[in-house]
Amino acid sequence: MKTLNHVFLIIFIGLLVFSCEPIKGPETPVATLPNVTTATPSAVTSTGATLGGNVTNDGNASVTDRGVVYATTQTPTTANTKVAADSGIGAFSSNIAGLTAGTTYYVRAYAINSQGTAYGTQETFTCSVALSLPTVSTTPAASITSSGATLGGNVTADGNAAISEKGVVYATTANPTTSNTKVVVGTGGTGSYSTTVTGLTAGTTYYVRAYATNSAGTGYGSEVNFTTTTYSYTVAVSSNPLLGGTTTGGGSFNSGTSVTVNAVANAGYTFTNWTQNGTVVSSTASYTFSISGNRTLAANFTTSTGDLKVTDADGNIYSTVTIGTQVWFAENLKTTKFKDGTDIPLGPIDNTAWNALSTPGYCWYDFDATVKSTYGALYNWYTVNTAKLCPTGWHVPSDTEWTILTTFLGGESIAGGKLKETGFTHWPSPNTGATNETGFTAVPGGQRYGPATFSNIGHYGNWWTATETLVTNASGRYMYYNSSSVVSYSYGKQGGFSVRCVRD
């Protein structure tokens, strides 16, 4: 019995030993990447947008950083542009600026915990295109008349919006706008355009700007201006009289203007009549008329005592012509002798030798003396500089005297026409502007100059002046077949050119 009790005691003690092991609690959750979604971009402008996302689960670890990443390429990461919002879970957003208009961006939300970086799905958005005023330039006015002109412009950029209207605005004051006179030409995109405006006032200055309108507003081109023409008349004279009075050589006037012209005959000439567009309108030297349209007046004279004639040392006889206060030869000089009777050396045939001359010399064009009666001789400037080339009482004109001539005739740009022989006998077509209303009868005698020996007979007339411009050069004038101008020029002194004499 005692033994049995011992057995039970041992079993009890063993049970007490095994019953002392601890009881286990619940296991700690395993940490993972966060869960994050990307919000749809909103408030998109040309340079910005609102971007964001939502951390829906922190992955059993604190979210220490969250925000958005974006780029112009797909699948952006934190290595691209990263905009941090804050930390933790929940929704978040950021306003993004500094983006480029018209550019597509790719964006993803991100969240970072101890396990790494998680990204939401990719969203895309495109920044809107920035609008601006159209860019437009103004075309200079063309085809100007007394009552109209052609105006226009060129739209070079539409400002990223459709052109709803384009045209021109004009006024008699500077900086016109669409509140002034507006002429709509059309709509559409870029490119040039033009329109003809009418109903303008003669002799008036108008200011013009092209314009173009889009949804951003109206853009203007730079301002140009033009002046409408006035009624005009041109005065021509026959033979070689003076023309005086309130105007000389023609003018431009507004309609209704009263104009007086006076025909003053030189010694040896008697005034005959005024003609208008070929019809006799007055036999009185002083003629007053009202401008009512374009017209051409001609003061006509008859010779009463004969032309003044001049003879050179060679026996050549020259006609003369009075233009303003000057009396000129009406032919090119053709003498082979100085006025003291000494011979002018005939220049060498060899062109190199001619160009090397520093002493007087003359020649006939292409060594053909038959040109003498029509074109005269060609002289180098050393001959001119002797001061004894022209007959007694006459001299080679200075640069200033040529300028007095062309100024009297209305300026160099038109004087050539008034000096050139008419028709196509010696000048070729078109013999631009030729009226020979002065009686000067300029002919194209050509030249001997430069590496080529002779050139331009029948096309150009070249005349020396007595004025030196450089040690090696002197001034001259030339006229040509397709222009009404007299052109000032500086030539090398070895050149062979024509000469006209003017009275002392």
- State the pLDDT at residue 417: 94
Contact 49, 96 (CB under 8 A): yes
Token representation of residue 165: 């209207």
Token representation of residue 438: 């002065």
Cα 173 from Cα 146, distance rounded (Å): 18
Contact 475, 469 (CB under 8 A): yes
Q: Which pLDDT band holds residue 17 (cuts at 50, 70, 90)?
A: very low
**CATH tag, 35-126:** 2.60.40.10
Q: How many CB atoms lie within 10 A of CB 476?
A: 25
pLDDT in tens, 161-205: 899 999 999 999 999 999 999 999 998 889 999 999 999 988 899
| Domain range annotation of the chain | 35-126, 135-227, 233-303, 309-503
- State the pLDDT at residue 247: 61
Q: Which of 387, 384, 388, 381 is nearest to 448 (CA)?
A: 381
Catalogue the E-assigned strands of 187-294.
Answer: 191-197, 205-214, 217-220, 224-227, 231-237, 242-245, 251-253, 258-264, 269-276, 279-282, 286-290
35-126 shares its CATH topology with 135-227: yes
> Whole-number mean pLDDT of the chain?
89
Contact 141, 226 (CB under 8 A): yes
Q: Which pLDDT band holds residue 20 (cuts at 50, 70, 90)?
A: very low
| C-alpha separations of 448 from 268, 348, 439, 453, 501 in Å | 38, 12, 26, 5, 20
Share of the chain above pLDDT 90, in %: 67
pLDDT in tens, 217-267: 999 999 999 998 888 778 777 655 666 656 656 667 777 778 888 887 665
Cα 91 from Cα 68, distance rounded (Å): 12
Res. 405: pLDDT tops 90? yes
Mean pLDDT, range 375-380, rounded to an integer: 96
CATH topology of domain 135-227: Immunoglobulin-like (2.60.40)
- State the pLDDT at residue 6: 57
